[in-house]
Chains A and B, each alone.
Chain A
């Protein structure tokens, strides 16, 4: 499998960290106001110029052809600062991975080649729902050799930004579900306003209402589940990397604040109760880092059990991030709950990301099911 060299990884990490520090950190609070404030278009344009959306895309589809380690490195750095952009990269990559799992490299190349701006390149995707868990609410009917999609696609992430979307849909007379590529500018597509959500405000989702929208079948009919699972196997570790990034951001802010803030006549970092909280945070980060590094290396090398490693990493790190960001606010006390600091956003984002790719407890059930089989 394609993978980046250590040198390339270092360069990617440096580029992502610099980008995050320069473009994301200074305007985090403002960017998080969306849709009640402007969208960070210029940030998105710059991320596109830096090829952050091309990481795992094969070279023949105009991508960088890197593996999961590279993707994890970038997502980790970006989510330390603001996971909304991480969510956009992840969503687009998930859609790309569905297409790749179905062998639709040509479609991807076509999208990449025709893209004149970032919106042309982005692919919207309902990345928080596993269609095996909650069935798709859209149906596809074949007419004159072409599929037409009708119904709803709830919470389609990037639906109001991207030119196209990958949508799961039931097909007449077919078991399971299929994926379709649709043009979001089609007149049969009705978009809701951005759905206001817990976190990732600048990674917006919309509800789509489809009315006889032409759909380009991805792979084979009824094989949607297989493509989703393949994508999930690979991208779970990337989801874990996003949560690990949030954890690092939360710890850094808590640690710095505790050195500065005094209570009861001494710096709060000298209260052993606070030290214990910080120690637990630091330990969890170390474990998360080890999980992500090991699982992404395994995924890139296709080592035995790599898919299980990727899933376990996501389950563990996402859960740890939810607990840790709760403590991250607690160290700051009242100000941690306010928008002036990044902690409240990290708390929301961590919980938001735990729902990536499906319902959290079911991910555990599926994990053990895979071992039973």
Chain B
């Protein structure tokens, strides 16, 4: 009826079969234990919500209204006590070794109760991925060890990512735009390291973090080929904190200004310098891969945040409708309200589908591809601790391992795979976050005056949700990135980011 070559040709037509069946392709390849692991992380998040987040989230939000400079160490300490800051660090680096795909459902759970809390955990892993993307195994080992020790000693050691600048926001997250961005964070090469001058803004958890993965540039005229990733430790000379932004929501997770004034960063803290190492690909391709590796996953994570807050809004509206009489009968028994709740439920489900499918795509074609193969998965779970300590850990400090890892990663970059994971990451981000804001708005419409009150939680969810449409690239940028990755690839005459 149909030949093999016909099948191949037809399935390579748009929409490409491989692009639209990531889950179907992925599931048979995944280790069975991943399901058990996911069940466990979701249950842990629900327990944490019940015991920690829900009883305290409103109180903290109110406290932050009264004192916008308050830093929520208490919340961070709780998350540290529960092991959340090492949960997704690989065992070879001293972490608890949970698999990356289990993090998004965990984030959805936390976000359904409080986006500020979800971000206090999530943004630490943005720092983790920014550092991990450099594949500098020595620095990864050093900083992850600090986080592990922070958990043991009860002194949380968080990692932040510093990329946004006063004059550059959306454009620093897109290689096509960064060369035209108004950047100011300059890393000047000096003997033994770099000297950094400039300012980073809107750095989530900045004031709370011990390590900051700084994205700086050794040539502001051509940043896409002169990116320098530096590890800055709180307390280093020349580095200080500026203001804490006065945000509308997500108040539990401070957004900080980081100031660099003649800050000397020694060579040992250089995580990645495009000029110090030879890469098998062009500098621009490496910069793109670095950004895409981090952003595809982090944007899917923000999609999970959006799903979570959309769910939180649905749950608040459903609870209100179930206990409130309107015009003589429970609101839940008004057909229009049932229809609105069904619409909200649909928004949650579709948003979840978007981030879940994106994570399957990343597992098939992105950064977690190797880690999720069955042999690697089970090896990472069951490799004896003494073997890690005696054999693997010392190796991690050797420069050749970093070289090897980079060679392996950057040599195998496939534009097609990058387009898919990056495009889907953007799709999950704006689908989930738009659903989050939409559901919050719908819930408030249903709840009338009750929804306006801080003590009924719903108004906080709306305030919190709005930030999701802005960070990790505005939803406008993410739409264009989806177009670039998934649509323009088939239309040779299409030009993106080149409008006159």
The interface of chain A, by Cβ under 8 A from chain B, is: 36, 126, 128-129, 132-135, 154-155, 195-199, 262-266, 271-274, 277, 322, 326, 329-330, 333-334, 336-340, 344, 347-348, 351-352, 354-355, 358-362, 365
Contacts and interface: CB of A to CB of B under 8 A. Distances in A.
Contacts of B469: 326, 330
15 contacts: A134-B324, A135-B325, A155-B449, A198-B451, A263-B168, A264-B170, A264-B176, A265-B177, A337-B247, A344-B248, A348-B459, A359-B445, A359-B448, A360-B448, A362-B327
Nearest to B61: A196
A222 B447 CA distance: 26
B336 interface: yes
A135 B331 CA distance: 13
Contacts of B459: 197-198, 348
Contacts, number: 141
A155 B453 contact: yes
B318 interface: no
Given A36-B66, A326-B466, A347 B476 contact: no
Contacts of A326: 437, 466, 469
B462 interface: yes
4 smallest CB-CB distances across A and B, nearest first, come from A265-B180, A198-B459, A128-B449, A264-B177
Contacts of A265: 171, 177, 180-181
Interface residues of B, number: 57
Interface string B207-248: 000000000000000000000000000000000000001111
B336 A134 contact: no
Nearest to A322: B441
Most buried by B among A134, A266, A352: A134
A203 to B, nearest CB: 11
A347 B499 contact: no
Nearest to A197: B452
Given A195-B455, A330-B475, A347-B248, A273 B466 contact: no
B202 interface: yes
B487 interface: no
Interface string B238-262: 0000000111110000000000000
Given A196-B455, A344-B466, A352-B452, 14 more contacts: A129-B448, A134-B324, A196-B453, A198-B454, A264-B171, A272-B499, A329-B470, A330-B476, A334-B201, A339-B247, A347-B466, A348-B462, A351-B441, A359-B448
A42 B480 CA distance: 49
B179 to A, nearest CB: 8
Given A36-B66, A132-B327, A262-B182, A358 B448 contact: yes
Nearest to B167: A262
A365 B336 contact: yes
Nearest to B437: A326
Contacts of A330: 469-470, 474-476
Contacts of B177: 263-265
A273 B480 contact: yes
Most buried by A among B177, B326, B447, B448: B448
B247 A196 contact: no
B34 interface: no
Nearest to A323: B441
B46 interface: no
A133 B327 contact: yes
Most buried by B among A36, A264, A336, A362: A264
A361 B454 contact: no
A241 B182 CA distance: 40
A339 B246 contact: yes
A333 B164 CA distance: 12
B471 interface: yes
Given A129-B448, A273-B476, A354-B445, A334 B202 contact: yes
B441 A333 contact: no
A133 B181 contact: no
Contact of A355 (B174, B249, B452, B499): B452
B476 A361 contact: no
B371 interface: no
B453 A195 contact: yes
B325 A198 contact: no
Nearest to A336: B470
A340 B246 contact: yes
Given A265-B180, A333-B170, A361-B445, A355 B470 contact: no
Given A36-B66, A198-B463, A361-B336, A337 B470 contact: yes
B248 A348 contact: yes
Given A197-B454, A362-B326, A338 B171 contact: no
A133 B448 contact: yes
A271 B499 contact: yes
Most buried by B among A155, A198, A322, A348: A198
A319 to B, nearest CB: 9
A334 B169 contact: yes
Interface string B361-386: 00000000000000000000000000
